[in-house]
Amino acid sequence: MIDFAANYRMLIDGELVKGEATLPVVNPATGQAFATAPDATAAQLDRAVAAANAAFPAWRALSPEERGGCLVRAADIIQAHLDELAVLFTREQGRPTAFAREEIAGAAYWLRASADLRLPIDVIEDTPERRIEVRHEPLGAVCGIVPWNFPIAQASWKIGPPLIAGNTVVIKPSPFTPLATLKMGELLRGVFPLGVLNIVSGGDALGPAMTAHPGFRKISFTGSTATGKRVMETAARDLKRVTLELGGNDPAIVLDDVDVDAIAEQIFFGAFYNSAQICAATKRLFVQDAVYDALRDRLHAMARGAKLGDGAEPGTMFGPIQNERQFARVRALLDAAERDGLAVLKGADAPAGGGFFVPLTIVDNPPDESRVVAEEAFGPILPMLRFHDVEEAIARANATSYGLTASIWTRDIARATEIAGRLECGTVWINQIFTLTPMSPAGGAKQSGIGVEGGLAGLIEFTQAKTVYIPKAGIPETAPPMRET
């Protein structure tokens, strides 16, 4: 049995540290607090940053194999405690426990895969006279700020790549979902040298204090576009590097040659998985005329048949909105759609007795200028949009300030590939969705972010490029101050 009222502690310089103050942690299925988390002080943050900087020289001096071995041990520990972490995850995040297990197992997999990443040495020139190399060297202490929708997965993204590159890290979970991450820190104590991995928790003041802290060389942030802009503004004061994975208003385009029965389930979960609290979820579903009605009716039937409730209860498929603030925002969008007379098709009723529940909802062909289309809901409200011509669908899909992901559904792969090249976003899936690997970069276009995570490109984001000119025969005979060669 898990003691949810346990004293959760932060990991700072290899020690488990209590907070001088605490924050309540709410179960979104009930709306009631069930535990508390430490609220880090400025002095505790300073200590964590100092520890990360002090640990950096020795950590970067280790071989990639030695650093990777630590990551593999961390992955093994997380996998061994999967059930315990999943129960805690569900209580604070709301997602059904079976899906929580998937995320935690995925985080362990991500750490193992990160252990195999290696920074290249790019040889620009190799002649009898000289060799020119571009090396990629670690930056130093990295700040990782993790969102509430995927707390453990996103923590692994902000731990594995920077550490294998030779950096040290300080991770901050969301104040809405700190417990599983703090528990993970407790489990991983002793896996890494002191100060290499630090985890601090706190309220709304902690994030800005971290992004402004002069001890960090890099900020890796996942969250809303509005907050990402503030992070970038703060980081600019001392030119910290930033990677920002932000919001999206992701389109899916369904062409009229699809088999509706074959794609309906993927479309449904692509829109509603985790109660649609996914940056990359389908948020605008464009469907060609000939298959529109059939797909709409099939999706609505699935929404009516899906069990919505407490993620800890067997058989629950969809949990609550994670926090009251987001719940109010999603309810406001739904209320506006009903007030404006839009065709709202609701799924199974929310359970009685409290909690931040919103029924899975389809809005049938609303105007593109309506709030439910123009704004990112980040909740289970899916606008379904009819189109006739593919050129029209592409233009409407691109008519947004966001550009995170998109998906295309058709039997004609060549046609889909051509459409993919015209969509303004960082990732396009063809006849699939949510396919991510540690070897592939993922990032946003336009206001959906800066930089990428994953793969070699994401690894290099945690480094500084250094060009080294190496003569083959000692000191060159002539060495003018600067010349083009």
Q: Is 425 a catalytic residue?
A: no
Q: Sheet containing 251-254: which strands, arranged edge to edge?
A: 343-346, 361-364, 381-387, 284-288, 251-254, 405-409, 427-430
Residue 37, φ and ψ in degrees, nearest 5: -125, 155
Task: List the catalytic residue out of 70, 143, 279, 425.
Answer: 279
Residue 458 CA to residue 467 CA, distance in Å, equals 20
Could you confirm whether 245 is annotated as catalytic? yes
Catalytic residue among 245, 376, 453, 461: 245
Question: Exposure pattern of 290-321 as b/e (b: 16+ CB <10 Å)?
Answer: ebbeebbebbbebbeebebbbbbeeebbbbbb
Any idea what the Cα angle at residue 198 is, between residues 193 and 202, rounded to 5°?
A: 165
Write the Ramachandran bin of 478: left for phi over 0, alpha for psi from -120 to 50, otherwise beta: beta
Judge contact between 110 and 71, C-beta under 8 A.
no
Indicate which residues carry an active-site annotation.
245, 279
